[in-house]
Amino acid sequence: MKTITPVVKPISQIEIDPGSVVTFPHVSWQEFELILEELGDKRSSRIAYSNNTLQIMVPLPEHEVPKDLISDIIKILLKSAGRRYQPFGSTTFKKKGKAGVEPDACFYIQNYQRMIGIRRLPPDAPPPDLAIETDVTSKTTIDAYTAIGVPEVWVYDSGKITIYILIDGEYIESNTSSIFPDLPIKNIVLTIVERSWQVGNYQALEELESAIATGEWNVISSR
């Protein structure tokens, strides 16, 4: 009888093309922790883990522009409103035994003061107030954010932005942001991102600051 020996290859040696997602089912929490350690911090891939399913994603290069720009938009809007914040980039957030996720960007607003000076996320750290995803987000990713308890998640993909707000332990799609309830946030983000492709990030953000100064949101939202 022929014996088949399975081939075991370290996760870090698996080649994943940009824009691809690889899914690994039946991954225990202990295995997930070992995989995170193996992958290390300096990598282009991002992970999402929930319900014993691990997904590893490699974003496309063109996702970097919207990611950085949306982060800058948020910073400008918070600063203009006199609201302090602490950005936390694409830190790995975990709910022990349940979930793990790495946003493209995230912000602490309510608990910003508590997070100042933090270099490595402590186990008892609160979730960020806002997380940003700039590619297709799977159910595994959304489930991970739900388990961790991030109050608001924005997903930007192919010229569309979806806002998810956590209500009673479940994400509900919303046309408005709980963080910027008085702003046409979808129109602002989509307009500035589109303008950046036409005139560059610097000028697009200048136009945003000008709209803030004059209060003419209708002008910037209708471009």
* Alpha-carbon span 27 to 14, nearest angstrom: 16
Phi/psi at 204 (nearest 5 deg)?
Answer: -60, -40
Residue 146 CB burial class (10 angstroms; 0-12, 13-18, ≥19): buried
- Domain locations in the chain as residue ranges: 60-221
Write the pLDDT tens digit of every residue in 50-82. Answer: 999 999 988 877 677 788 899 999 999 999 999
One-letter amino acid at 64 equals: E
Question: What is the pLDDT averaged over residues 154-181?
Answer: 94
Confidence (pTM): 0.87
pLDDT tens figures, 190-201: 999 999 999 999
Q: Which DSSP helix (H) or strand (E) runs through 23?
A: strand 21-24
**Stretch among 14-23, 29-38, 120-129 having the lowest mean pLDDT:** 14-23
Residue with tokens 């739900």: 146
What is the Cα 199 distance to its own chain's centre?
25
| CATH code for the part of the protein at 60-221 | 3.90.1570
If pLDDT is split at 50, 70 and 90, which confidence band does 5 have? very low
